[in-house]
Amino acid sequence: MSEPHILITGASKGIGYQTALELSKRGCMVSAVARSADRLEELESNSPDQIKAYPADLSKPEQIADLCVKVSSRGPVDVVIHNAAGFISKRFEELTDDDWYELIEINLMASVRLYRNILPHMKPESHLVTVGSMGGYMGSAKFGGLSAYSTTKGALTTLSECLAVELKDRGISSNCLCLGAVQTEMFEMAFPEQQAPVSSADMGNFIADFAINGQKLFNGKVLPVALRDP
């Protein structure tokens, strides 16, 4: 793949920001998405020839459709890294319907709509990388307060496997990376007393590499990427 065009969501901070930066260092054309336009502009300023910011709220279906038209006008997309996610920490009996719908919209429906809108603009040998969580990995340790987050992340693993089957004939691979603890704002919200054993820069480095090369070795896989559970 020469100078792949990579669409990455959740690129304004944390793991997504570091992944986008790594991809630009590897010569990729990066289309970076999140709501925070200022943070995306700062990301873009690191490598303006390669990184282009596309501010969008992925919980809004019309913004996803518009985003995919704009990103594809830059050229066909080789890799999508869908990394954006929302997070709510509340015990199950305190979670309201609105809490559940909020996370279903951003953690599940945003992926459904993003992939549906961008797939017509993807070439054979391209790669969908869904960023999941160890919380949504079947059989992993579970934590109090994370039922809505972990359930929506679990749904993504199945979606990723199903897409691998349906897209096989088009030569498009689909893999899900279930991340363990990484030191970011989201981790601090989930586990304020703890220190994660992995930095967002190290995880960004790994995801960048996997996004470019992983489809040569994996398809339809749900892969734990974790030193330990938090």
3-state secondary structure labels for all residues of the chain? CCCCEEEEECCCCHHHHHHHHHHHHCCCEEEEEECCHHHHHHHHHCCCCCEEEEECCCCCHHHHHHHHHHHHCCCCEEEEEECCCCCCCCCHHHCCHHHHHHHHHHHHHHHHHHHHHHHHHEEEEEEEEEEEEHHHCCCCCCCCCCHHHHHHHHHHHHHHHHHHHHHHHHCCEEEEEEECCCECHHHHHHCCCCCCCCEHHHHHHHHHHHHHHHHHCCCCCEEEECCCCC
What is the closest distance, in whole angstroms, from the C-beta atom of residue 114 to ligand NAP in the complex?
Answer: 10
Q: Does 185 help bind ligand NAP (rule: CB under 6 A)?
A: yes
Q: Does 154 help bind ligand NAP (rule: CB under 6 A)?
A: no
Q: Which of 51, 39, 204 is nearest to 131 (CA)?
A: 204
Tell me whether residue 29 or residue 64 sits nearer to ligand NAP (CB atom): 64
Tell me whether residue 138 or residue 169 sits nearer to ligand NAP (CB atom): 138
Q: Does 23 help bind ligand NAP (rule: CB under 6 A)?
A: no
48-77: which residues touch ligand NAP (CB under 6 A)? 57-59
Tell me whether residue 200 or residue 219 sits nearer to ligand NAP (CB atom): 200
CB atoms within 10 A of CB 95: 17
Q: Does 16 help bind ligand NAP (rule: CB under 6 A)?
A: yes
Q: Does 133 help bind ligand NAP (rule: CB under 6 A)?
A: yes
Q: Pick the binder of ligand NAP from 23, 28, 106, 167 (CB under 6 A).
A: 106
Q: Does 32 help bind ligand NAP (rule: CB under 6 A)?
A: no
Tell me whether residue 3 or residue 185 sits nearer to ligand NAP (CB atom): 185
Stretch that binds ligand NAP, among 20-28, 41-49, 83-91, 93-101 (CB under 6 A): 83-91
Q: Pick the binder of ligand NAP from 34, 103, 164, 212 (CB under 6 A).
A: 34
Q: Which residues bind ligand NAP (CB under 6 A)?
A: 9-16, 34-36, 39, 57-59, 83-86, 106, 131, 133, 179, 181-182, 184-187, 196
